Structure 1
């Protein structure tokens, strides 16, 4: 607990502190001045007693114990009764959400395992290992747990921290709904994750040129470290589908040259039915892309296996891909302006329109309205010559 010290409030003495989420502020010696050394010394003694009581569990929330003048005329029995009441209140607060987080998360994982794809369980296991190493064990210690996760985090991207918070938060929401918890102390703790500088968002419309697109795809195939992702990059640059749709594709969704998008990978690593705007849509890919897809299909694979899995199994972490593979490969192409990988979708849609395809048809291919294609996803076509009348 932080030190508690008297403060100068326009010449008078006050003590302000927070305990168990509640802020307290009072004058321990009404009428005394901050400049009075004897009064200030007495106030420091009172502040020290408050801190010691808080740490020992004997804090008096009525503050009567810490107001010397207020103790005049009080009986010993009354003082003991107040102390017992304060102790009871403290113990009652400690009992709230005094649930082992690891056990709760294991119960939640078991509950989710009934609906999650087996590969998605990898993320849950990773977070369980994190919780197991954390020195703070109870759900009520949400602040300390989040601070430990932040301090334990390696790297500059906070996407994995956000995923950890989302899954733990979802776990505690489930805990409340099943009466295992009185409340969810993680609900408002996302702000404890430090923000990182954004290098471009989905809303930035700045597509690559056709030449840049081809060079980026070639650079991925030529990369010793990241060529594993080359088929995914080519697929996204060609189809214009959303990354979360591609990462959720399974082999059962491919029938020859026809691919059906009917689910998406959420930020918390779960597979949800439907795409962002519709329940499903199908496209027919060209021979070149069909060869790419068939080229990465294992000789022996289950129909429920993902087409674009992570190297070690499970789903690809899009944020890790963006901050490692994407940045590294584009770093080898210094003459190409860096842009967020979501620009692969913008680029594909822009090229479809440039090729003379009707906006309504493009909208059906990529899962949006024709109006939205023109309004948001159509990139710069200022270099296209207008037809003469």
Structure 2
């Protein structure tokens, strides 16, 4: 028996598998006695399993059925986190789920999930907006909506109070691409200043093909042809792990001679297929925070160029490619964006400033 955030939980192992059960009881002496009775029931069934197969309910439904109170908001969310743990790629992906758990504890405390009305859901949204940015709050409300939907399927709750709860996110100005003059200044400064020279090829690569920075960080020599004339992009690196691309789709294309030469020059005589094309100064994979702090931010500051995120290299490529007559399908094939995305976000003046003509 353990206590998690003030709530009792039973944990045990059987036949090499770990089990966990939240009996729905706050941690106090009386409830510990009730939970111990539940634990004894489970232990009895486990002992009887050898003589009477089926005595132990592998689904654990038998041990939840006589819960002394309906499942709370916090318990439902904890159960949902357990479910997501099985479907999400790694523990880092669960961080925002665990972060929301703190807010649910503070606001709902021990309130039952079935008791949450739509009005209370709206009130929680307003409370959350005082603490989070609108775009983050919108995502969190969406997560709650999904968790209640998951709970309905498992008969933990009957209605979804979050179904119509929306968060309006104010529009943001589209990122301003770097001008051709700014691009040249960035590349020249990166190659001429010793403290930035290690990153110069990485920056030029991102600007040259418009890939996401994480895709450049995740590029390995095995993803290039033998003569480095063509590239396959289907993986990325971020938050300490190798993973798929943002869209989980791959793409391949040929590069222009100058970029081919840059890659050939980088490749060591003895290289492993699993080695990264670009790395941090000490040989570790490129960490986006480290790159931004040690190179990107100070480099732009020294040049007097208004700060834009490293991701702006991608917008810069797309905008200038359109301006130079590339077709939308060509840009989509190289960047991995859909043609619809390019039409919606980039077509027209590359800097998003349509000229208004005088009418009167």
| TM-score, length of structure 2 as denominator length | 0.52
| CA offsets 1:292-317 (integer angstroms, 9 cap, x no match) | 11222122210110101222233211
Change in CA separation of 1:383 and 1:333 when aligned onto 2, cut-off 3 Å: farther
User: Which residue does the alignment assign to 2:316?
Assistant: 347
Change in CA separation of 1:284 and 1:348 when aligned onto 2, cut-off 3 Å: same
User: Which residue does the alignment assign to 1:270?
Assistant: 241
User: Which residue does the alignment assign to 1:205?
Assistant: 175
Residues 278, 367 of structure 1: 8 Å contact kept: no
Residues 202, 342 of structure 1: 8 Å contact kept: no
CA–CA distance in structure 1, aligned partners of residues 213 and 266 of structure 2:
18
Residues 202, 340 of structure 1: 8 Å contact kept: no
Shift of 1:185: 10
SS of alignment partner, residue 198 of structure 2? helix
CA–CA distance in structure 2, aligned partners of residues 175 and 365 of structure 1:
33
Change in CA separation of 1:361 and 1:195 when aligned onto 2, cut-off 3 Å: same
CA–CA distance in structure 2, aligned partners of residues 351 and 87 of structure 1:
66
Residues 330, 338 of structure 1: 8 Å contact kept: yes
Residues 217, 233 of structure 1: 8 Å contact kept: yes
Instruction: Give RMSD over aligned pairs.
Output: 4.2
Shift of 1:246: 1.1
Change in CA separation of 1:314 and 1:175 when aligned onto 2, cut-off 3 Å: farther
Residues 222, 273 of structure 2: 8 Å contact kept: yes
Shift of 1:202: 10
User: Which residue does the alignment assign to 1:85?
Assistant: 30
Shift of 1:191: 8.2
| CA offsets 1:255-289 (integer angstroms, 9 cap, x no match) | 121011121224x322224x333532112111111
CA–CA distance in structure 2, aligned partners of residues 221 and 191 of structure 1:
47
The aligned runs of 1:171-190 (5 Å cut-off) are: 187-189=97-99
SS of alignment partner, residue 371 of structure 1? helix
Residues 215, 233 of structure 2: 8 Å contact kept: yes
CA–CA distance in structure 1, aligned partners of residues 213 and 273 of structure 2:
20
Shift of 1:211: 0.9
Change in CA separation of 1:175 and 1:357 when aligned onto 2, cut-off 3 Å: closer
User: Which residue does the alignment assign to 1:357?
Assistant: 326
User: Which residue does the alignment assign to 1:261?
Assistant: 233
User: Which residue does the alignment assign to 1:20?
Assistant: 6
SS of alignment partner, residue 303 of structure 2? coil
User: Which residue does the alignment assign to 2:156?
Assistant: none
The aligned runs of 1:168-317 (5 Å cut-off) are: 187-189=97-99, 204-255=174-225, 256=227, 257-266=229-238, 268-273=239-244, 275-277=245-247, 279-317=249-287
CA–CA distance in structure 2, aligned partners of residues 340 and 211 of structure 1:
18
Residues 213, 310 of structure 2: 8 Å contact kept: no
User: Which residue does the alignment assign to 1:369?
Assistant: 338
| CA offsets 1:135-154 (integer angstroms, 9 cap, x no match) | xxxxxxxxxxxxxxxxxxxx
Residues 346, 352 of structure 2: 8 Å contact kept: no
Higher relative contact order (CA 8 A, sep 6+): 1
SS of alignment partner, residue 259 of structure 1? strand
CA–CA distance in structure 2, aligned partners of residues 321 and 190 of structure 1:
29
CA–CA distance in structure 2, aligned partners of residues 348 and 203 of structure 1:
18
Change in CA separation of 1:90 and 1:226 when aligned onto 2, cut-off 3 Å: farther
SS of alignment partner, residue 225 of structure 1? helix
Shift of 1:203: 7.7
Runs of at least 5 residues in structure 2 that lack an aligned partner in the other structure: 9-25, 38-77, 87-93, 104-130, 134-170, 356-360
CA–CA distance in structure 1, aligned partners of residues 82 and 280 of structure 2:
28
Shift of 1:85: 3.5
Change in CA separation of 1:340 and 1:291 when aligned onto 2, cut-off 3 Å: same
Change in CA separation of 1:86 and 1:320 when aligned onto 2, cut-off 3 Å: same
SS of alignment partner, residue 85 of structure 1? helix
| TM-score, length of structure 1 as denominator length | 0.48
Query: Which structure's CA Rg is the greater one?
Result: 1
The aligned runs of 1:324-335 (5 Å cut-off) are: 324-334=294-304
